[in-house]
């Protein structure tokens, strides 16, 4: 039987592509979502991947939800922390509510989701944890102080936990997507995409969600055990470090 993988925010956008790719690679996948029941049910009908609804910013909800996934599918061996939100504005106009909402969903969720599964991974001496950060966690972005701070925090979390877990067969890595042709990016006016965004990308186009999913499948594989604490930048050459 395939290893059990959980993908947060796994029924839409990049998360949906990750869920589908992992299933195609032989994993038993559980996709979590926060609130869009219609999209989640459509995704479940289309793919056969079970969906679970909870708020990843809620510590108790994560513990209970992960317990249910393990009861349904078995021990969780692969965790993809993908869920994220934006609440953009210049910092001098940013509200405390928008700051905390983004930090709680995009950064604190890594603790909420990883803490309940890490002991099982340590006991079994195997685990794959992949955190979906962002190009804007690497370089910053105007109007995204909250988002950039959270996504940069994801990278620090990745490197520290990788060091703690390496000798126990658990790898912890991050992926930093650039501009991907998701609903959110495609909602940007076409002229803005063509004049302001795409010219910054060396390959001359937006990325596809499936391209990020392939990165996840690579890092999740049993054969990827020598890669840990790494950040994989998938941004078409927009930002090179």
Task: State the catalytic residues.
Answer: 147
Cβ proximity of 138 and 241 under 8 Å: yes
Rounded Cα–Cα distance for residues 110 and 88 (Å): 21
CA distance 60 to 48: 27
Q: Which spans in 74-172 are helix H?
A: 96-103, 109-124, 135-139, 145-165
Which tokens hold the place of 139? 């370089």
Specify which residues 232 forms β-bridges with: 175
d(CA 134, CA 145): 13
Instruction: Read off φ and ψ for residue 60, nearest 5 degrees.
Output: -65, -40
Cα–Cα distance for residue pair 80/204, rounded to 1 Å: 28
Report CA torsion sign: 4, 62, 17, 79.
negative
Beta-carbon-side half-sphere exposure of residue 69 (alpha carbons within 13 Å): 31
């Amino acid at each position: 039987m395939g290893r059990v993988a959980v993908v947060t925010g796994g029924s839409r956008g990049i998360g949906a592509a990750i869920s589908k790719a992992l299933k195609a690679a032989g994993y038993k996948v559980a996709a979590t979502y926060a609130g869009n029941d219609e999209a989640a049910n459509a995704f479940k009908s289309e793919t056969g991947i079970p969906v679970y609804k909870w708020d990843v910013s809620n510590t108790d909800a994560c513990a209970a939800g992960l317990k249910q996934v393990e009861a349904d599918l078995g021990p969780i061996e692969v965790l993809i922390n993908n869920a994220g939100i934006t609440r953009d504005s210049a910092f001098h106009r940013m509200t405390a509510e928008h700051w905390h909402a983004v930090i709680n969903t995009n950064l604190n969720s890594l603790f909420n989701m990883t803490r309940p599964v890490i002991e099982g991974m340590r006991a079994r001496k195997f685990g794959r944890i992949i955190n979906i950060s962002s190009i804007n966690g690497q370089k910053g972005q105007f109007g995204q102080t909250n988002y950039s701070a959270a996504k940069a925090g994801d990278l620090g979390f990745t490197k520290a936990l990788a060091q703690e877990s390496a000798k126990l067969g658990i790898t912890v890595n991050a992926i930093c997507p650039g501009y991907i042709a998701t609903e959110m990016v495609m909602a940007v006016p076409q002229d803005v995409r063509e004049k302001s965004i795409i010219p910054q990308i060396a390959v001359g186009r937006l990325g596809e969600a499936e391209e990020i999913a392939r990165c996840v499948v690579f890092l999740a594989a049993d054969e990827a055990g020598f890669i840990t604490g790494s950040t994989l930048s998938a941004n078409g050459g927009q930002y090179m470090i």
